[in-house]
Amino acid sequence: MSISVDVTTVGEFISSRGQRSTLRAGAPLFFEGDRSTSVYSCVTGRVRLFVSASSGREILIGFKRAGEQFGELSAITRRPRVASAIAAEDCVVAHMPGDRFLDELAHESGVAFAVLRGLAVQLQATNLRLLARNSQSARSRTGHKLAELAALTKRHHGGVAPNDVVLDITQSDLAGWIGTSRESVCRALADFRRHGVIDTGRGHITVYDIDELVRAADVGDAGV
């Protein structure tokens, strides 16, 4: 019998049927190039996904939070992992063997459709990031990425988060995420601080006004 789920509940599906493990911050789940095929869901905390450039620099892909799944691509393609995943903080994850996950998809059309839709959303987001890297300055990309993360955080809290949104992200992670240097991000953040739309601290960035941040990112874009 099929069940009806949406993209946001695939992680809950894995959590309800998989095995749970508690991880300390910095503990690895898998590395780029691994041939493991297990799928995961973040139950609590955050998991950091990244790829390694030939220079050894880590390029951030993103974070997975409670209710979000990851690792399904290798289960479907049977190809090596294209990214690494580590616990960004103390967290609980659920995991399911790839073979079992594929068997579940064969019997649960709702889950299969949700996974397909989720992969399509990821592909679309990747295409948009590539377009932005080719058409926007580092300053503009920095502002828009912060605004996007702040909006996602508000939605994650059901829209009841306070106006000041604190993002647990380092300047280095932000630089890796948008594909630029840390120095460029620092210059952009300094400019946004002068506009009064953000503040920065050790390991976090506070967004005071999302709409004003977007406007600041779009005005006076000098290609830093």
> Using one digit for the tens of pLDDT, what is the confidence trace for 44-92?
999 999 888 666 667 777 889 898 899 998 999 999 998 999 999 999 9
Amino acid 133: pLDDT:
55
- Helix (H) or strand (E) segment spanning residue 184: helix 182-195
Q: What is the Cα–Cα distance from 7 to 85, expressed in whole angstroms? A: 20
- pLDDT (0 to 100) of residue 120: 75
Q: Check residue 121 and give its pLDDT.
A: 75
Beta strands in 14-107 (DSSP E): 19-23, 28-30, 39-44, 47-52, 58-64, 69-70, 84-87, 91-96
The reported pLDDT for the residue numbered 132 is 54
Using alpha carbons, list the distances in angstroms from residue 172 to 19, 144, 154, 178: 33, 16, 23, 10
117, 132, 147 - which closes a domain: 132
pTM: 0.62
* Structural domain includes residue 224: no
Residue where a domain stops, chosen among 111, 132, 153:
132
Judgement on whether residues 86 and 184 belong to the same structural domain of the protein: no
Report the CATH number that the domain containing residue 121 is assigned in CATH: 2.60.120.10
Residues 6+ apart with CB under 8 A from 102: 75, 76
